[in-house]
Amino acid sequence: MIGLGEVLISAKDLKKRVQALGREISGDYEKHNLLLVGILKGAFVFLADLMRAMSIPVQVDFLGVASYGKESESSEEVKVFKDLNEPVAGKNILIVEDIIDSGFTTDYLVRLLEVRSPASIRICTLLDKPARRRVPVAIDYCGFEIPDVFVVGYGMDIGEAHRHLPDVHQLIEKKG
């Protein structure tokens, strides 16, 4: 049986790191327009905190993708269930992800958005699991690198459970 394990990153540490990312991104885009593209569902909590940690005006839009379904396995097949509401031509896009694992999702998203002629595309992820990478992804902003463990909380789920938790927890195998 799979159960909720210990806290891997506390709400306090998440807050501190997200504030720092917000400052860094605000500095980098001070003289440019910026569109945050949040990847649903997992990134909505991170995005909400990140944009409030920024000191520049930003626009926000969402792309809904699913690659996992109910299992914790990566899939090369990415399903888009919600596209952006607005065109992105001429805009500076920052893709905001919860976690980059195999890299398939982010790689797919970059290719999807590139053909729409944005001014630029950068990638921001709260968590990075480099040990799991199967396609290279050039990450511009990363909250934390984590080992090859499955995590939930702070927007992230397993089978839609645990998104509401304020800390990031590890999932563990439980006996019985």
Q: Which residues bind Mg ion (CB under 5 A)?
A: 42
Instruction: Choose between 58 and 158: whose C-beta lies nearer to ligand IMP.
Output: 158
Can you tell me the distance from the alpha carbon of 97 to that of 42, in angstroms, rounded to the nearest whole number?
A: 7
Q: Is 101 a catalytic residue?
A: yes
Burial class (CB in 10 A: 0-12, 13-18, 19+), 67: middle
The partner in contact with residue 104, picked from ligand IMP, Mg ion, none with C-beta cut-offs of 5 to 8 angstroms by kind, is ligand IMP
Instruction: Choose between 56 and 157: whose C-beta lies nearer to ligand IMP.
Output: 157
The partner in contact with residue 49, picked from ligand IMP, Mg ion, none with C-beta cut-offs of 5 to 8 angstroms by kind, is none
Instruction: Choose between 26 and 170: whose C-beta lies nearer to ligand IMP.
Output: 170
Cβ contact 134:102 at 8 Å: yes
Can you tell me the distance from the alpha carbon of 35 to that of 88, in angstroms, rounded to the nearest whole number?
A: 8
State the catalytic residue, choosing from 101, 140, 148, 167. 101
Cβ contact 79:106 at 8 Å: no
Give the binding site for ligand IMP (CB under 6 A).
42, 67-68, 74, 97-106, 150-152, 156
